[in-house]
Structure 1
Amino acid sequence: MKHELVLDWMAKDVITVTPTATLKEAEQLLIDNTVRRLPVVAAGRLVGIVTYGDIRAARPSPAQALTPAAIDALAEKMTVAEFMTPNPLTIAYDESIGVAARLMLKNMISGLPVVNRQGELMGIITEADILRLVIHEWSREIASAG
């Protein structure tokens, strides 16, 4: 398992968003695609990442005495560039899963955009992908022991 590469376990079909997309559009992409994070891409390059937490923090609170319609209107005007995490931590596609896992654990994050040497997004590796690898290896060990 130490020599498994990020490339072999990452999700390659990544749902992305642009910096000019609205908060409402980003939120809808997360919901529609059942994902927890969206890499933000401009001109083919990764420029940020948006999570559910970022959206919750950016969305006005009902305690601010705004009507639901006013909250929705703000969500349609606010762009991803205003609340994304710029220049997120990334990992190279040819790095080991162990390095990815340590980076996630150290930084208390659940996923890493995967990039090539030019900084272009190639995929995303998440805790779920690493768990899938662990289960795969565990199943192989059980099968060979039996």
Structure 2
Amino acid sequence: MKKELVRNWMTEEVITVKPQTSLPEAHQIMMDEEIRRLPVVDDDNILIGIITLGDVRGAQPSPATSLSIWELNYLLSSLIVEKIMTPQPMTIKPEATIGDAARTMLEHRVSGLPVVDDEGKLAGIITESDIFSMVVIHEWSEGEAEVA
């Protein structure tokens, strides 16, 4: 398990957004796709940031606001991802080990890492769920081998 590589466990088909995507649109994508993070890429698929469900929630107004629902909707629709994303997020290379990915996530208190190639292009994403899946599959495989 120690020698497992990120490229073998990452999700390659990553849903992304552009910096000019509106906040409500990014939030809707997260809800529809049941994901908690969206890498933000430019037209060349270069990673420039990441937006999380926590970022979206943090940008929403307090229920104690005196603005009307129409004013709130207008303000939210004019807010774009670029304004609330985390620029230059922590990343990892496809050749890194799962142990390196897990250590980086723990040290930086993040639950997922965009995977980028040497040019900074998004190649995938590795999340806690991917690492948990790997652990379970390896544990199950090793347990079966011992029984046989």
TM-score, scaled to structure 2: 0.96
Deviation at 1:68, TM superposition (A): 2.3
**Per-residue CA distance 1:48-83 (angstroms, 9 max, x = gap):** 000011011112222121222222211110010110
RMSD: 0.8
Q: Does 1:17 align with 2:17?
A: yes
Question: Aligned letter for 2:36?
Answer: R
Instruction: Kindly report which structure 2 residues correspond to 1:100-115, keeping only aligned pairs within 5 A, or say none.
Output: 100-115=101-116
Q: Does 1:122 align with 2:123?
A: yes
Indicate the SS of the match to 1:82: helix
Indicate the SS of the match to 1:29: helix
Question: In structure 2, what is the equivalent of residue 75 of structure 1?
Answer: 76
Structure 1 stretches of 4+ with a deviation exceeding 6 A read none
Question: Aligned letter for 2:47?
Answer: L
Number of aligned positions between the proteins: 146
Deviation at 1:133, TM superposition (A): 0.3
Provide the rounded CA distance (Å) in 2 between the counterparts of 1:70 and 1:111: 34
Question: In structure 1, what is the equivalent of residue 140 of structure 2?
Answer: 139
Provide the rounded CA distance (Å) in 1 between the counterparts of 2:75 and 2:56: 12
Indicate the SS of the match to 1:62: coil
Indicate the SS of the match to 2:31: helix
Question: In structure 2, what is the equivalent of residue 28 of structure 1?
Answer: 28
Unaligned residue ranges in structure 1 (runs of 5+): none
Deviation at 1:29, TM superposition (A): 0.6
**Per-residue CA distance 1:6-34 (angstroms, 9 max, x = gap):** 00000011010010000001001100110
Provide the rounded CA distance (Å) in 2 between the counterparts of 1:24 and 1:107: 27
Q: Does 1:90 align with 2:86?
A: no
TM-score, scaled to structure 1: 0.97
Unaligned residue ranges in structure 2 (runs of 5+): none
Identity %: 47
Question: Aligned letter for 2:39?
Answer: P
Indicate the SS of the match to 2:64: helix
